[in-house]
Structure 1
């Protein structure tokens, strides 16, 4: 009997490990959208001179993403809540993921002409909406593939896989299509073809990487005691309002954490959003050098995130987040004060920044995941997405105001650091140990 139980435990452990790897492969594939579409390749292409005034298009891109952010803020908690009650969390992860895949593939048709600017902006905005919806369900599955004692390690492994996936895909895109005059399959840069073909590769990459979690991880089924009545779409908002009021009454520290994390997560997003701009405009990086730096940044961030996940389980999420934010502030100030030091400054201090970004992101997810009772993961992570989007203007505004007031791009670094500092100060009063949400 004892031997049978031992064999069963080993088999269950192997099954759990397999589900963790399958789950993390979604993060691996998400680099196709995070790194290739929104950060280093497609948006750089779309804001180029071929599409119009290079001083105007970035603002238009910002407005498109702002509209996307509003839609996400309004709809994310409802879609998450409904995936909980319907018991179709994995189904909606698949639907939203492959919507992103289809949108990314459609970017192939965005030729290097101002006639295609609106199409390109629409696709980037729409991709962001569906990607965030997919992320709500993906984050909610964290509790399904981990235990209370391994949630930090599993979350860090997922974030790390995302960074490592970005490394591999950026290497393929750069050396296969962007850098050579004639790339793979005879692709050239004429009419933006190198970038457009890269979008097809990114779509296939994400689609294939998403299959393991959809095949290997079982569909979510809420415990009978936690199941809630299904309601209509508009009625879901009334339920949401009731849930937020209850959260405020019964678990106010969770609300404070959602607010604090919204601010510092926007600062983290600003580090990546404007990192390429700073590298090019302040430190003289060429577009190719920006991608090479991005590859190195992903290496550093991926290794750090996987390693710190173990500390998350041992020490808790809050100490990890506080340490990471402090490290980000110190590294950012080095970049600011030594901006005249050339590329070596950005390579060293910039990579130091990347050392702390991933751990802060991963620990923020695990802090919340430990508090959520079974059956409400989608709803609460929907609120997590909503609070993040509700302040998504902070880092871009702080960056733009700093540059406008002081007249030099490097002053934007202080704007981003200010957002991170505010997030850090808001987090300090939040208790490190909290009870499950009622």
Structure 2
């Protein structure tokens, strides 16, 4: 059965699409407010407090006589600085997602109850996020467990969410729907972050400590995620019959069987895998630019934290307009051509970062606006284009590979940035070295026959590709 045969009538389809984009709005609070801004610093401070308490009770730090600086905390017999906790936690959380997401995708395709899975994952993730408010004193271990749980739920819910796209949008609608969802997500994430930053920066006026304001932000983030998830749950429907009637533990077993089948069949769609490989290259560049921009601004350009916070907000809100713009352009040029133009803009923006002068926040804000224009749109169109190449009935599994691949290769860009920075002693040369990801992605995308890939997967080819 083709994707076109499974999409509902237009009135129902539009209603589902409007509901679907609200999950981008709902979940964006987790990667933005929680993971990007508040939790890293807060959890590090809690870990540092634990290290001080441990030193006071047990005497000198176990690594005090070594050449390692501030080897403050320990876990599973390993000692490491409190400041390194966040980096190790992100790595661990990524490894766990790589293991879990394909299984969750297989279960979603097997049971075909995506709506229930989306709700369960979103609510569990939101509870774990709100529960981060319980982390205080020296209890950094609780924060680690809760973040890993919330991160798993976030990633798995995104896989299920993406898998709805072929079911609620025709091939010609998909670029627009995906772009609006991504744009709406940046708007929601930016608005939530603005509210949380207002709470954090005004904590003295509200009679709150700095830590209390952060803990309240965690609770508000969980409520935001759960509350806005109710909108898509009210509008999304089941579109396919389940592959089997398994329940309980048999669902997991059947999910593993489904996953093995997908891996065996994936080689039958080499063009889909070719696009996925190309996407993983340029999205690594995108993710790296987004993640190292604050460090570049702080260490190379010597900006205050207020400038860096303003920059984050600029990127969030400009990305809304960038996502809408990409959807509009793709309507006339097609997704592939629009992505290629977007990659060219990325090359220009990253090149311009080399010339931003220290102590000139106006130039840095302009750079942030440039990043925002292409940040959301490039990924939104990649999501919709990939959905065209996925064999019908296996959407969640292929999108789990999409998400896992993205996380599995996310180490390469930061490695290049850090390596070039260390070798040259210049973050300017490090930032411009990231151009290679966009150039490679552009060149490889030229040779991906998108129309053939879509047809080979059994889906109708849209009018504009």
Q: TM-score, normalised by structure 1?
A: 0.87
Give the Å deviation of 1:331: 0.6
In structure 2, the partner of 1:180 is 202
In structure 1, the partner of 2:444 is 426
Does the aligned pair in 1 maintain the 2:19–2:236 contact within 8 Å?
yes
Does the aligned pair in 1 maintain the 2:323–2:380 contact within 8 Å?
yes
Give the Å deviation of 1:372: 2.3
| Aligned pair partner of 1:22 in 19, 24, 27 | 19
Pick closer, same or farther for the CA change 1:206–1:61 going to 2, 3 Å: same
Pick closer, same or farther for the CA change 1:51–1:313 going to 2, 3 Å: farther
In structure 1, the partner of 2:94 is 69
In structure 2, the partner of 1:3 is none
Q: For the residues of structure 2 that align with 1:56 and 1:267, how far apart are their CA atoms?
A: 28
In structure 2, the partner of 1:42 is 39
Does the aligned pair in 2 maintain the 1:262–1:388 contact within 8 Å?
yes
Pair 1:144 & 2:162 matched: no
Give the Å deviation of 1:120: 2.8
Give the Å deviation of 1:368: 0.9
In structure 2, the partner of 1:323 is 341
1:56-111 deviation line (CA, Å, top 9, x unaligned): 45543222222222222222122112211112111111121112101111111223
Q: For the residues of structure 2 that align with 1:412 and 1:419, how far apart are their CA atoms?
A: 13
Q: For the residues of structure 2 that align with 1:315 and 1:269, how far apart are their CA atoms?
A: 25
Does the aligned pair in 2 maintain the 1:264–1:419 contact within 8 Å?
yes
1:272-299 deviation line (CA, Å, top 9, x unaligned): 2222222333333333332222222111
Pick closer, same or farther for the CA change 1:181–1:159 going to 2, 3 Å: same
1:66-105 map, 5 Å:
66-105=91-130
In structure 2, the partner of 1:204 is 223
Q: TM-score, normalised by structure 2?
A: 0.83
Paired residues, number: 418
Does the aligned pair in 2 maintain the 1:64–1:122 contact within 8 Å?
no
In structure 1, the partner of 2:191 is 168
**What CA RMSD, in Å, does the superposition of the two structures yield over aligned residues?**
2.6
Pick closer, same or farther for the CA change 1:420–1:46 going to 2, 3 Å: farther
Give the Å deviation of 1:248: 1.8
Pair 1:219 & 2:216 matched: no
Q: For the residues of structure 2 that align with 1:125 and 1:183, how far apart are their CA atoms?
A: 33
Q: For the residues of structure 2 that align with 1:47 and 1:325, how far apart are their CA atoms?
A: 35
Does the aligned pair in 1 maintain the 2:46–2:139 contact within 8 Å?
no
Give the Å deviation of 1:375: 1.4
In structure 2, the partner of 1:346 is 364
Q: Secondary structure, in 3 states, of the residue corresponding to 2:217?
A: helix
User: Which runs of 5 or more structure 2 residues have no equivalent in the other structure?
Assistant: 1-7, 50-69, 73-79, 459-465
1:389-428 map, 5 Å:
389-428=407-446
